[in-house]
Amino acid sequence: MEALLKAPLTSRVYEVGDFAAAQELYHSNGWTDGLPVVPPTRDAVDACLDWALMSPDQLIGIEPVRAQPITAEKLAINAVMAGCLPMHFPVVATAWQAMMKDEFLLHGVTSSTGGCAILVIINGPIRLEIGASGSFNALANSDRATAVIGRALRLALINLLDVRPGGIDRSTLGHPGKFSYCVAEDEEGTTWAPLSVARGIPQGLSAVTVMAAMAPRQIMNEWTTDPREILETFAAEMRANQRHYSIYGGNYAIVVPSQLREHIERAGWSKRNVAEFIYERARIRRAEWAEVGKGAIVRDRGERIHAALESPDHLLVIAAGGPAGGFGAVIPPWMGSRTKAVTAAIGACIDCEPPQGKGERRS
Amino acid sequence: MILRVLDPTNEKKAPRVQPAARPSSLAGGTVGFISNGKEGTRGYFAQLERMLREELRVKSVVWRTKSNYSAPADAHIVDEIRNWQAVVTGVGD
């Protein structure tokens, strides 16, 4: 009965002789990120849609600037190409819904010379169901799930919105996160509330947060147990980013590994305490730009103070990383506050009225 | 073994916008500049204004700046375009 009611796939079908021919078809048409892709067959795409209980023609959203509709079928094709299993697809679909919210400014994020990538942070029980790890190598090739989910976002940008280098994508440099940039929070390894909960999603729900993000800047401090000293190192890296990249405030993320979290949590500091400390410490005088070769635009505003965060709410504190090592990361925003990170619950209607106004959060 | 694989692109393209008629002359007309607000636009548009006035006898040049350099022009700026014979926009990195 279900099969009778379901709309058929409508994408054009290509017949190729074998796996290698499929690769050449996709590469020669500019449909890849340069790496091999999984050939998207009807069965594989149907399996993704069935898992997510989506009809092929279900509208995931409409890209706000160029009015491009994004359907579940097309998104699933790109997810399969990226290597996604059906159980990964709900994360991909929800991330895309979040990306198409006006405040994310998807067109600017994907077309800017600034060259950011889209960072995805996964929270909630779905992490364990799909094997998304927030432990060893958390920001890189930590596991299959985060690798393919991050890649699926990029392939869909390329194929559904023409975000190709030199096309819509005008990045001067870009960074490696544009292949895949996805991390699961290590919720089992921390006493802190999950990022999604801090951003208004009810405890126990799975969620994704998307952020227009530059490459991670690693910090290291293994010589103190004082939360203030540990966090001062993070704040200093944010100040460095303000000096060398963009002085303007926006959504920063910090990734705090187990070894550093242990000291901060033992001292009784919550994520909110961390954010408030960083908010106060991560700020510079505009005159500092003159010290790094940018004196031409200091003008008469040298004494103006620029905070890296417009408020403590704008810091995304992520618990992730292997069990040993005092290595954390600061992930700067693409360009100030012109884009806002968006958090959305997986399996929830993003445009529906959330329970008690807590279904989604942007800041 | 034949593999049947699917097109990953957005086959349903948004309708293309019909471009306005091209002006045959700008003499005596008004040209609008829409800057993305970056530093580099100032010198570029200043030079362009001189050229338009001196070489193409443009009567007036209107400067407008987007409130967000990575977003489309604000609605009130777009509304003004109907009063101009031509518009120049671009990035100023």
| pLDDT confidence of residue A359 | 40
Dig out the tokens for A230 from the structure: 């540990």
pLDDT value at residue A7: 84
Higher pLDDT, A306 or A353: A306
Q: Is the pLDDT assigned to residue A185 strictly greater than 80?
A: yes
- How far is A247 from A77, CA to CA, in rounded Å? 39
Reported ipTM: 0.90
pLDDT at residue number A347: 85
Task: Give yes or no for a contact between A320 and A255, defined as CB atoms under 8 angstroms apart.
Answer: yes
Residue A349's pLDDT band, with cuts at 50, 70 and 90, is low
Q: Does pLDDT of B69 surpass 90?
A: no
Percent with pLDDT over 90 in chain A: 91
Residues of chain B with C-beta less than 8 angstroms from the C-beta of A81: 8
Sheet of strand A117-123: strand arrangement: A182-184, A117-123, A207-213, A342-345, A360-362
Most confident region among A2-11, A244-253, A332-341 by mean pLDDT: A244-253
**DSSP strands (E only) in A10-164:** 13-16, 59-62, 69-71, 117-123
CB-closest option in B4, B6, B70 to A338:
B70
B10 CB-side CA count, 13 A? 26
- Strand A182-184 vs strand A283-285: parallel, antiparallel, or unpaired? unpaired
So what's the pLDDT on residue A198?
A: 96
Minimal C-alpha gap between B35 and chain A (Å): 15
pLDDT digits (tens, 9 = 90+) for B1-22: 899 999 999 997 667 778 888 8
Relative to beta strand A342-345, strand A207-213 is antiparallel
- Residues of chain B found within 8 Å of residue A105, distances taken between Cβ atoms: 68, 70-71
User: Chain B within 8 Å of A299 (Cβ-Cβ)?
Assistant: no
- Which of A17-21, A107-111, A252-256, B34-38 bottoms out in mean pLDDT, i.e. has the lowest? B34-38
Contacting residues for A222 by C-beta, under 8 A, at least 6 apart = A259, A325, A326
Q: Is A27 on the interface with B (CB under 8 A)?
A: no
**A107-157 pLDDT tens trace:** 999 999 999 999 999 999 999 999 999 999 999 999 999 999 999 999 999
Residues of chain A found within 8 Å of residue B68, distances taken between Cβ atoms? 105, 108, 338
Residue A360's pLDDT band, with cuts at 50, 70 and 90, is: very low
Joined together, the tokens standing for residue A39 give 């050939």
State how far the Cα of B72 lies from the Cα of B70, in Å rounded to an integer. 7
* Mutation choice for A interface testing from B1, B2, B7, B66 by most A CBs within 10 A: B7
Per-residue pLDDT for A352 more than 50?
no
A155 touches chain B (CB under 8 A): yes
Mean pLDDT score of chain A: 94
pLDDT at site A355: 41
- Which residue of A lies nearest to B72 if distances are taken between CA atoms? A65
Tokens of A178: 């544009």
Look at residue A256 and give its three-state secondary structure.
Answer: strand
Q: Which residue of B has its CA nearest to A78?
A: B8
Q: B50 - beta bridge partners?
A: none
Domain count, chain B: 1
Nearest to B5 among A22, A159, A160 (CB): A22
Instruction: Check if A251 contacts B (Cβ < 8 Å).
Output: no
The whole-number average pLDDT for the span A259-283 is: 98
Q: Which strand (E) or helix (H) includes residue A74?
A: helix A72-82
Nearest chain A CA: its distance from B37 CA (Å): 13
- Please answer yes or no on whether B7 and A13 come within 8 Å at the CB atom: yes
Please say if the pLDDT value at position B93 is more than 80.
no
A4 assigned to some structural domain: no
pLDDT of residue A357: 42
Q: Which residues pair with A318 in a beta bridge?
A: A255
Q: What is the pLDDT of residue A103?
A: 94
Say whether B8 and A26 touch across the interface (CB within 8 A).
yes
Centre a 10 Å sphere on the Cβ of residue A355 and count the other Cβ atoms it contains: 10
Instruction: Yes or no: say if A57 and A71 are a contact pair by the CB < 8 Å rule.
Output: yes
Per-residue exposure over A130-145, b if at least 16 CB sit within 10 Å of its own CB, e if not? bebbbbeebbeebbbb
Give domain status of residue A9, yes or no: no
Q: What is the mean pLDDT of residues B82-91?
A: 89
What is the arithmetic mean of pLDDT over A156-164?
Answer: 97
Is the pLDDT assigned to residue A350 strictly greater than 80? no
Q: Which domain holds residue A90?
A: 15-346
Amino acid at A104: F
Give kind and range of the element (H or E) at residue A217.
strand A217-220
pLDDT score at A354: 43
What's the average model confidence in pLDDT over A57-67? 92
Q: Is A193 on the interface with B (CB under 8 A)?
A: no
Radius of gyration of chain B (CA): 19
Residue B34's pLDDT is what?
94
Give me the domain span that covers residue B35. 30-90
Q: Do B91 and A111 touch (CB under 8 A)?
A: no
pLDDT at B1: 81
Look at chain A and report how many structural domains it folds into. 1
Which residue in B9, B39, B66 has the most chain A C-beta atoms within 10 A of its own C-beta, making it the best mutation to test that interface?
Answer: B9
Q: Residue A36 corresponds to which tokens in the numbers above?
A: 């091999």
- The answer as to whether B7 is a domain residue is no
The closest CB to that of A15, out of B4, B71, B72, belongs to B4
**pTM for the full predicted model:** 0.91
Instruction: Check residues A359 and A144 and name the one with the higher pLDDT.
Output: A144
Nearest CA in chain B to A31: B8
Does the pLDDT of residue A180 top 70, yes or no? yes
Size of the A and B interface in Cβ pairs below 8 Å: 96
Looking only at the bridges linking them, the beta strands covering A305-307 and A283-285 are antiparallel
* Residue to test with chain B: of A77, A92, A294, most B Cβ within 10 A: A77
pLDDT at residue A174, as a whole number: 97
Tell me which residue of A113, A340, A284 sits closest to B38, measured CA to CA.
Answer: A113
